[in-house]
Amino acid sequence: QFGLGAKFYRSGFNAVKALSGNMDLLVAIGTSAAYGLSVYQLIMGNDEHLYFESSVIIITLILLGKWLESRAKHQTTQAIEALSALRPDVALVRRDNQEISLPINQVKVDDIVIIKPGERIPVDGVVIEGASSSDESMLTGESFPVNKTVNDVVTGGTINGEGLLIVKTTAIQADSTLSKIIEMVESAQAKKAPIQRIVDRISAIFVPVILLIALVTLLAWGVISHDWQQALLHAVAVLVIACPCALGLATPTAIMVGTGVAARHGILIKDAEALETLHNINMVAFDKTGTLTIGKPELVEMDVMGSETPDQILSLAASLQAGSEHPLAKAILSKAKEYHYAQNITSVAGSGVMATVDNTEYYLGSLRWMKSLNAYFVGMDDKINQLSSKGYTISFLAKQQSEGNVVILALLGFADVIKEEAEKAIQALHQLNVKTVMLTGDNQKAANYVGQQLSLDKVIAEVLPQDKANYIDQLQKGSDINAHNRVAMVGDGINDAPALAAADIGIAMGTGTDVAMHAASITLMRGNLFLIADAIDISRRTYNKIKQNLFWAFFYNLIGIPLAALGFLNPMLAGAAMALSSVSVVTNALLLKRWKIRT
């Protein structure tokens, strides 16, 4: 009673000092009543009515329940423990032309770190020598190794593959990506969801109400039956079966498991409020460039007019663009298998580029330039309309066939290619009854083409960066799709930050800028669009677990307390039921660990 049971007295006493109540206070009062009655009976020589075993069994069962509960709760923090375990203790650093092994807390920014094959990368940094691959699955959920070479970024905590890497340190300790992820997950698990505030208010009056019910039970049974010993046991059963603990555990355990599981799959949720808001989202607004598309132009279509082959056209175009840093030039160079030697390469501002290849003058540039050169062919307008209807940017390759006679050889269509998974990711959102909108600064034709390809519910084009937040506000107030929408905004650039902040939930792609990530409530560590539907799905499942747990906790108390007050449960059964209640709530939350992502 006063050995293993001492913790109940300490906790109960602290609760009284704080002018509050808790489960331990109820257990302390209940078992003390049974124990005190037994001592009284023993002193009076009435050893046929002793209840020491009731007190002992109640304490034993409740302690067993607390142990099972702590074991179960420990599993809810496994995501944090797994992330923390990724931190290496030492790093091999090159200083003064010597390689020395240093504790990780002694490594500084700009230190040169040597990472051998198979080792865990100790710091965030940039590769300055070597080539390898990196297993980033624990941080991003990406199952395939990511190739790393010079100028590529590596993240501390990931595992180096088959090659030796020399890395210049860019961030250490608290500033590292891994530390920020751990901090974000811990913050999300520590903060209370709005629904928890309601539960807290109920819990605050729960213990005084139970004490009142126990007192009424004692008096009613005593007055009616004149058996005050039995009346006391019924009152003890009321005190013991009441379980504010189940109410207190219902929300935080589900949030801890939900955010932990999400983090393991590359979905970082900033706080519990974001998790709760996310489950109500019924519309997702996307930026286009870099979010729905890969973020850089690619040569996607080529219409050859003359006798040249597509490879010859590419080779000629690449020859004119050799050494250029223009995005369209890079798109051509990445496709070409070989170049010709070009002379007299001249860039014509606002028009394109011209050069001499094999004593022939070639031109690569805009329609306006072609018209100024009188380069035209029958049906050219139809070809242009066909490509521009898809939102393509068009360049023309032409050559001077004779003096004053320039002929067009090919039309080159460029587009910011839609991400491979985008269409199915949008379908996944529609399956969750979430409407999809695209907000883009791109022209209406290009935007409409992307919208049609992805079956988006609404396309809003030619939006200035500073106006995106206003459009989010309009979508929230209602539109032709839905009224009173809860809107999530997905973006990756600095220009998306105001819209991310204005939305009910901001979702930043992990491949984007730090500014976007700071403005967002949720960060996707991979640029995979499927994670958006996954984030909404895990939030809904987590919220469902919260509702299930709260229903069970209220139902248990609503049924158990009257049964105990009416004498249908003895104190030992009441203690067992109370322990089971807490364990069942935690166990139900742990079922979230079975959740799987779509990718």
For 104, list phi and psi in degrees, rounded to 5.
-60, -30
Does 282 share its domain with 301? no
Task: Quote the pLDDT of residue 397.
Answer: 93
Give the pLDDT of residue 398. Answer: 92
Domain contains 599: no
* pLDDT tens digit sequence for 538-586: 999 998 998 888 888 788 878 888 988 888 877 667 767 776 777 788 8
Catalytic residue among 24, 111, 287, 492: 287
Structural domains of the chain, count: 4
E strand or H helix at 296, and its extent?
strand 293-304
428 part of a folded domain: yes
Is 135 found in the same domain as 33?
Answer: no
Regarding whether 513 and 432 lie in a shared domain, the answer is: yes
Count other Cβ atoms within 10 Å, centred on residue 164.
Answer: 14
Query: Is residue 84 in some structural domain?
Result: no
CATH of the domain at 439: 3.40.50.1000
Cα 502 → chain centroid = 19
* Domain end position, chosen among 538, 570, 585: 538
The tens digit of pLDDT for each residue in 452-482 reads 999 999 999 888 767 888 888 888 887 555 5
353 three-state secondary structure: strand
- Domain span holding position 226: 6-79+193-257+540-594
Confidence at residue 223, expressed as pLDDT on a 0 to 100 scale: 87
List of residues 6+ apart from 16 with CB closer than 8 A = 25
Question: Residue 251 domain-assigned?
Answer: yes
Please give the pLDDT value at position 141: 52
| pTM of the entire predicted model | 0.68
Residue-by-residue DSSP string for 80-96 = HHHHHTT--SEEEEEET
Distance between CA atoms of residues 491 and 463, nearest Å = 14
Shared-domain flag, residues 63 and 203 = yes
> Among residues 375, 398, 417, which one ends one of the domains?
417
Inside any domain, residue 1: no
Same domain, 55 and 201: yes
Boundary-marking domain end, from 397, 417, 437? 417
- Is 287 catalytic? The answer is yes
277 shares its domain with 318: no
Provide the token pair at 127.
């590769």
Beta bridge partners of 91: 102
Radius of gyration of the chain (CA): 34
Residue 60's pLDDT is 66
Q: What is the mean pLDDT of each run of 10 residues along the chain (599 residues)?
A: 67 66 65 68 64 61 58 54 74 90 90 91 91 75 72 87 90 80 63 60 72 87 84 79 68 81 82 83 89 85 87 90 81 82 80 88 90 84 86 89 87 88 93 92 83 92 80 80 78 72 83 56 83 92 88 82 84 71 81 79
Contact at 8 Å (CB) between 109 and 171? yes
* pLDDT reported for residue 306: 78
